[in-house]
Chain A
Amino acid sequence: MKLKSGFLCREVAGQWVVVPLGERVVEFNGIMTLSESGALLLRTMENEVQEEELVQIVLNEYIVDEESARSDIREFVTSLKDNGLLIE
């Protein structure tokens, strides 16, 4: 999976946000807010990535068990898909 082009993930006033760039605003007219870990995952997904790599990144950066990490990542990915941000 990979993040579509035309989205920018940036930190604004301590909050991570994703905004559409240019014509992407037609399909996603809004702002998405992310946690720090969400932003880490999203920036990783600017390149093609598999779920397993995302799990390893979270396990390396945060104190969390693998099952919880995997479950949270699946939920996060589903939300990105629902909002049309991912190329599968």
Chain B
Amino acid sequence: MAQTLDRLYSQLVSAAKVKRELLSASFELTSRCNLQCKMCYVCQNANDREGMAKELTTEQWISLAQEAQDLGLLFLTLTGGEVFMRKDFREIYQRLMMMGFILTIYTNGTLITPEIVNWLAAMPPYKVSITLYGASGETYKEVTGFADGYARTVRAIDSLLENKIPTDIKTTVVQGNKHDYDKLLDFAQQRKLDLGVVNYVSPRREGTNTDPIGNRLTPQELLDYEVHINERNMELGLLKRKDFSSSKESPRFFESGLAGTRVSRETSEAFHCLAGKTAAWITADGRLLPCGLLDGVKAFPLSKGLAAAWEELKQECDGISPCKECQGCLFQAYCEHCPARLLKETGQYTKNAPYLCELARKRKEAVNWDVI
């Protein structure tokens, strides 16, 4: 009767895929953030009046959640921007918890106070997922613009853990924090946590004053980072060396980031993830997207209802052709291309992206040399 959530999730995904039912979603409650990360794909300033005016109201989010529940939604992620920027976040969270969703909160952690920990502990989510942007105040200053963000985030993580609130940590690697991996891994190990790594930084979806492309690692730097991660994880016994040269699967140790979980490599499909199949994303201003990155297809649930918008979104996703060059590429098993990434990198769904191509080629070379 009871089973692990991972196993149940897989089972539900398999069933939902057949019927194309909405099983999981992300609500981007705000695009505003108190940090100013150089690589952010969506960030608006904390006090951006225009952004604030466009945000859906409490009741609109609850209404969308009710519609989503009628469609089958069970797994719901609350994300931003920074969700704790919203003054009504507690009300939204608690009302969603009363609806029986399996809730995950994505946050930078810097605004989590002891009071917030207390009310979260009384009604804990499935998980609080915190992004650590570095292992020191200096790195935080460099990446996010705020040196005190580090101490605030560490306090939040420790307070959540002390109060037995399920918490995980991840980092997004960019130029400003690429040397912090070992310290971040130590931080995670000391707390008996895994450290997720978001390795892909996308060109901006929207927002202002950020420069993701200028701050992401080059393909060679990213490969070096991945090799280092693998070496450290093997040292710690977290990872066993595997011969990938005879496998169609490339080594994947990373968080999937915005574009969802990769689930298949059906060559006839443009999407290898659940976006537009069983998963969707609603932006702070109420657009229904397949995922947080892909704004090339969208529907408007506030005007036509979520059920109709979901049907429209699925049809639009089905109309996206796979990239033929990518399909025929020898390095495809080492690549993380998808319609969202190709669109953001090249402006088209069917054109290969030099950044992703070079990274895949370097990964393949590294495997041939047995570096990975």
Contact = CB atoms under 8 A, between A and B. Distances in A.
Interface of A: 8, 10, 12-15, 17, 19-23, 25-26, 29-34, 38, 79, 83
A14 B100 contact: no
How would you classify the secondary structure of chain A's contact residues: helix, strand, loop or mixed?
mixed
A38 B2 CA distance: 13
Q: Which 7 A-B pairs have the closest CB atoms?
A: A13-B15, A13-B16, A8-B100, A19-B100, A22-B98, A13-B12, A12-B74
Interface of B: 1-3, 5, 8, 11-13, 15-16, 19, 21, 23, 69, 72, 74, 94, 97-102, 122-124, 126, 166, 278
Contacts of B23: 12-13
A31 B124 contact: no
B350 to A, nearest CB: 32
A23 B123 contact: yes
Given A21-B97, A23-B122, A13 B72 contact: yes
Given A15-B12, A19-B102, A21-B97, 18 more contacts: A12-B12, A12-B16, A12-B23, A13-B19, A13-B21, A13-B72, A15-B11, A17-B8, A22-B94, A22-B97, A22-B98, A23-B122, A25-B97, A26-B122, A29-B126, A30-B2, A31-B5, A33-B3
Contact of B100 (A20, A26, A30, A34): A20
Contacts of B21: 13
30 contacts: A10-B69, A12-B72, A12-B74, A13-B19, A13-B21, A13-B23, A13-B72, A14-B19, A15-B11, A15-B12, A15-B15, A19-B100, A20-B100, A21-B97, A21-B99, A22-B94, A22-B97, A23-B123, A26-B122, A29-B124, A29-B126, A29-B166, A30-B2, A31-B2, A31-B8, A31-B102, A33-B3, A33-B8, A34-B1, A83-B1
